[in-house]
């Protein structure tokens, strides 16, 4: 069986869709599965052991340079590659106009997508043959998984094994260097990912320091701090300075290396962010902190994944994310949390 998954972005959403990918590979071990992804995300998708090939699109660059001949040559090359395989099934997990255009060019016996209640952009409905609407109130990973389960009429609880991303020789060496740090010997290992792309999804620095101080007193652990940009690096360094004898700020790691290091941790502490979703693909326990987004929708699934959910004093409700996530000037659902209260929740849930 030849299967194509169309999920071009974003990076966190692609990771959420790995559950569906692993379900398909478990159901059809000999299936050849390809994936369409934006160019910046292709390397991570290609590192997944269930993937045969990644078909790369560069839509942002193409839009900026639409009048250039080189752009149209790239688009033609992508279309040619896309049409070289006749797929048994295409699953459109993006549900927008861009993915509809991709689906329209793919050769496939059947094209499966979201129904009108769930699709991101309604024109997408014209480019799929069968459509399903996931039940409301489920985790985002279950929404993607539902498309495959509904198509195959197989709603048994899937047994999904963790799938570590593949590492090249350099990545393996770097992973071993991190795991060989002296401070990690004979002590619980906790990775801390304090940053987030959105300010209103990030815990206050003082609250994080207070929480980690209590956690250290409780566990006697070593901390590895991670970051994704210079602002997050500065935050990680400022927090790490409060724990100089039993913590370190790591260099920026590729996502495959980061995931493999996460797999050897005893706990990952993170906001609703890319590192949290990546940690959810490993066998490591997580403790996640949510404010203006829904833990029920986005936290990793399964045992060992506990969380704190902040509450809005303005009584706004939402299924996925708060409608004023980016614009709320006070962000009390996340900024009013104290480290001591957070630690109390951690103790009660672990």
On whether both 292 and 266 belong to a single domain, the answer is: yes
Number of domains observed in the structure of the chain: 2
The model's confidence at residue 62, banded by pLDDT at 50, 70 and 90, is very high
In a domain, 123, yes or no: yes
Q: What CA–CA distance (Å, rounded) separates 226 from 194?
A: 8
Same-domain pairing of 180 and 318: yes
Report pLDDT for 228: 94
pLDDT tens sequence across 79-136: 999 999 999 999 999 999 999 999 999 999 999 999 999 999 999 999 999 999 999 9
Q: Give domain status of residue 97, yes or no.
A: yes
**pLDDT, average across residues 267-292:** 96
In this structure, are residues 16 and 102 in contact, taking their beta carbons and an 8 Å threshold?
no
**157 falls within a domain:** no
User: Do 126 and 234 lie in a common domain?
Assistant: no
- Are 198 and 136 contained in the same domain? no
Last residue of a domain, one of 120, 152, 184: 152
Residues 301 and 343 in one domain: yes
Mean pLDDT of 38-55: 97
Residue 160 lies in a domain: no
Give me the domain span that covers residue 282: 169-349
Answer with the residue of higher pLDDT: 312 or 115: 115
Last residue of a domain, one of 96, 124, 152: 152
For residues 235 and 210, membership in a common domain is answered with: yes
Does residue 93 lie in a domain region?
A: yes
Strand partners, 92: 6
Residues 122 and 223 in one domain: no
Kindly report whether the peptide bond that precedes residue 10 is cis, defined as omega within 30 degrees of 0.
Answer: yes
Banded pLDDT at 344 (limits 50, 70, 90): very high
Q: Using one digit for the tens of pLDDT, what is the confidence trace for 165-214? A: 999 999 999 999 999 999 999 899 999 999 998 889 999 999 999 999 99
State the chain's mean pLDDT as an integer.
96
What's the whole-model pTM score?
A: 0.94
Q: Are residues 139 and 173 located together in one domain of the fold? A: no
Based on the domain organization, do 116 and 193 belong to the same domain?
A: no
* Higher per-residue confidence, 315 vs 348: 348
Integer Cα distance of 81 and 92 in angstroms: 18
Is 342 a member of any domain? Answer: yes
Report yes or no on 48 lying in a domain. Answer: yes
The pLDDT value given to residue 314 = 86
CATH number of the structural domain spanning residue 338: 3.40.50.2000
Confidence of residue 157 (pLDDT cuts 50, 70, 90): confident
Q: Does residue 164 lie in a domain region?
A: no
Say if residue 317 is exposed, middle or buried (CB neighbours under 10 Å; 0-12, 13-18, 19+).
exposed
Q: Are residues 134 and 201 in the same domain?
A: no
Domain boundary among 99, 118, 152: 152
- Pairing state between β 53-57 and 86-92: unpaired
| φ, ψ dihedrals at 215, nearest 5° | -65, -40
Looking at the structure, do residues 179 and 324 belong to the same domain, yes or no? Answer: yes
Does residue 184 share a domain with residue 122? no
Question: pLDDT at residue 234 above 90?
Answer: yes
Mean pLDDT confidence for 263-291: 97
């Amino acid at each position: 069986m030849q299967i194509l998954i169309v999920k071009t972005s974003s990076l966190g959403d692609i990771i959420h869709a790995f559950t569906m990918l692993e379900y398909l590979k478990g159901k059809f071990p000999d299936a050849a599965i390809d994936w369409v992804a934006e160019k910046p995300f292709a390397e991570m998708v290609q590192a997944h052991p269930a993937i045969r090939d990644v078909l790369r699109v560069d839509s942002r660059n193409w839009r900026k340079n639409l009048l250039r001949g080189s752009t149209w040559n790239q688009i033609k090359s992508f279309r040619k590659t896309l049409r070289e395989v006749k797929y048994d099934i295409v699953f459109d997990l993006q549900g927008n106009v861009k993915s509809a255009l991709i689906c329209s060019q793919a050769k496939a016996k059947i094209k499966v997508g979201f129904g009108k209640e769930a699709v991101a952009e309604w024109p997408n409905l014209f480019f799929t043959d069968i459509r399903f609407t996931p039940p409301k109130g489920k985790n985002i990973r279950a929404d993607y998984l539902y498309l495959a389960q509904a198509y195959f009429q197989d709603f048994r609880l899937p047994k999904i094994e963790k799938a570590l991303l593949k590492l090249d020789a350099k990545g393996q060496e770097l992973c071993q260097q991190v795991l060989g740090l002296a401070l990690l010997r004979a002590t619980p290992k906790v990775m801390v990912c304090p940053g987030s792309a959105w300010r209103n999804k990030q815990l206050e620095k003082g609250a994080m320091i207070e929480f980690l101080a209590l956690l250290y007193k409780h566990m006697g652990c070593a901390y590895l701090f991670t970051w994704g940009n210079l602002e997050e690096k500065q935050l990680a360094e400022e927090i790490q300075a409060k724990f100089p004898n039993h913590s370190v700020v790591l260099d920026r790691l590729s996502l495959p290396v980061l995931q493999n290091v996460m797999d050897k941790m005893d706990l990952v502490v993170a906001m609703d962010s890319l590192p949290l979703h990546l940690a959810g693909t490993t066998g490591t326990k997580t403790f996640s902190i949510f404010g203006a987004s829904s833990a029920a929708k986005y936290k990793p699934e399964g045992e060992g994944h506990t969380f704190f959910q902040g509450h809005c004093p303005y009584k706004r409700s939402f299924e996925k994310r708060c409608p004023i996530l980016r614009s709320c000037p006070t962000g009390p659902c996340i900024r009013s949390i104290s480290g001591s209260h957070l630690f109390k929740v951690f103790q009660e849930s672990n």
